[in-house]
Amino acid sequence: MQFSRNILIGIVAGIITTATLIATSDFTKVDAQMGGSHDMGGMHDGTMMGSQGHQNLPGSVQQSCHQAGSMPPHYCEPYYNTMSSVRGLRIGNVDVQNDNTLSVTVRQIATNAGTVDQKIVVAGGTGYLAGATIVEGGWSDTKTITITFEGLGTLYDQGSVHLHIFPITS
């Protein structure tokens, strides 16, 4: 078990380091309410980030965030940068459960792909928070997991959270 824990710690450390280096790259941005690829903006270092190319569509949900020290609300959900290093899997939905826990749905891309037999790890980080969950094989279509983050602050303090699906190879 100690060997698996060390691998997991290494993966999370790699995510945090990589997230810092590739923060300007184009990733799929998952909006938990819309379930699609949308850049909804968000708080970053206490300043408001604008919506990039987002139109106010009927039925869409968009947060209204304020700068720190101004009128509430102060609880703005971050946007999510997602990546997958496992063929045929992607992150389909992300929801905040509490200050330091996310509910993440891993989804198969093909609808008739069969059972996912491979063990994977879903890791996430922000620079101040990090967490990961190992997902056993034996599921198909979707698998919803929780990731508990440890570190400084809460998920609401972050402008973005990077999530990555990795295969477990040993």
Instruction: Please list the rounded mean pLDDT of every run of 10 residues in the chain (170 residues).
Output: 58 58 41 37 38 56 61 74 96 94 95 88 95 96 97 90 94
Closest alpha carbon to 163 in 87, 72, 92: 92
Residue 42: predicted pLDDT: 38
Domains and CATH numbers, the chain: 1-23+75-170 (2.60.40)
Contacting residues for 50 by C-beta, under 8 A, at least 6 apart:
41
Angle at 69 between CA 67 and CA 22, to 5 degrees: 40
Rounded to two decimals, the pTM is: 0.63
Closest alpha carbon to 62 in 85, 92, 40: 40
Residue that has been written with the tokens 């699906």 in this structure? 165
